[in-house]
Chain A
Amino acid sequence: EPEVTQTPSHQVTQMGQEVILRCVPISNHLYFYWYRQILGQKVEFLVSFYNNEISEKSEIFDDQFSVERPDGSNFTLKIRSTKLEDSAMYFCASRVLAGSSDTQYFGPGTRLTVL
């Protein structure tokens, strides 16, 4: 069964460093999302991406964050200058159609630890 993959599974970085989290969505999917979950808290929406551009972003997704689909298969989340509070689990998700009743498929997550 096709699945969403994410790399790395765990990233440790120093505060102020740039990190790039990578995702490979399911190949025929059209909508892509990044969510994050700070330890002990609920999952939060960061950004959605459709037709090669950001379609919606949350208040969390400030200028330090960016997303890209550089080669038609990978979907990346970049954090330019990490802060301690960026430590969280980051999930990529994708779905196939543009309707409300589509299942979103989640990747296994990248655990980001900022020291």
Chain B
Amino acid sequence: KNEVEQSPQNLTAQEGEFITINCSYSVGISALHWLQQHPGGGIVSLFMLSSGKKKHGRLIATINIQEKHSSLHITASHPRDSAVYICAAPGGSNYKLTFGKGTLLTVNP
């Protein structure tokens, strides 16, 4: 069973700061998901990555498969980035996702 750990659990930043959220997992996987959950509860998929780095706007995700570690970075953070960021690892023959507990990010103006 894959254990997915995230840090930090809570993160408060000032607008414009560079943000890093970390994720580690215990069982080797071929890809990792980063998701965003807003206060209303809906989940949006941000990235699915299997190697290296992916960039989407101000969001950058990196993964090191050998070290079983991934990071999500937000450059020039903005209050609208405030949300819970969750990493999730697919596993098993049906690729069900095992989720981390999430990181609550609050960006203050």
- A residues touching B (Cβ–Cβ < 8 Å)? 31, 33, 35, 37, 41-45, 48, 50, 55-56, 89, 91, 93, 95, 99-106, 108-109, 111
Whole-angstrom distance from the CB of B100 to the nearest CB of chain A? 7
Contact B95–A95 (Cβ < 8 Å): yes
- B residues touching A (Cβ–Cβ < 8 Å)? 29-31, 33, 35, 40-45, 48, 50, 86, 88, 90, 92-102
Known pairs A100-B30, A101-B30; A45 contacts B96 (CB<8 A): yes
Contact B96–A33 (Cβ < 8 Å): yes
Whole-angstrom distance from the CB of B27 to the nearest CB of chain A? 13
Closest residue to A56 on the B side, CB-wise? B94
Judged by DSSP, the binding face of A is: strand
Known pairs A100-B30, A101-B30, A106-B42; A48 contacts B96 (CB<8 A): yes
Q: What chain B residues lie within 8 Å of A102 (beta carbons)?
A: 48, 95
Known pairs A56-B96, A100-B95, A101-B50; A108 contacts B45 (CB<8 A): no
Q: What chain B residues lie within 8 Å of A43 (beta carbons)?
A: 43, 86, 88, 97, 99
Whole-angstrom distance from the CB of B2 to the nearest CB of chain A? 11
Given A43-B86, A101-B30, A106-B35, 5 additional A-B pairs, CB 8 A: A33-B97, A45-B98, A103-B45, A104-B97, A108-B42
Closest residue to B49 on the A side, CB-wise? A101
Q: What chain A residues lie within 8 Å of B48 (beta carbons)?
A: 101-103
Tell me which of B43, B92, B99 contacts A109 (CB under 8 A). Answer: B43
Q: How far is the CA of A70 from the CA of B101 in the complex (A)?
A: 33
Contact B100–A42 (Cβ < 8 Å): yes
A-B contact pairs, 6 of them (CB 8 A): A56-B92, A100-B95, A101-B31, A104-B97, A106-B44, A108-B41
Closest residue to A91 on the B side, CB-wise? B43
Contact B44–A89 (Cβ < 8 Å): no
Whole-angstrom distance from the CB of B84 to the nearest CB of chain A? 10
Q: How far is the CA of A62 from the CA of B61 in the complex (A)?
A: 36
Q: What chain B residues lie within 8 Å of A48 (beta carbons)?
A: 94, 96
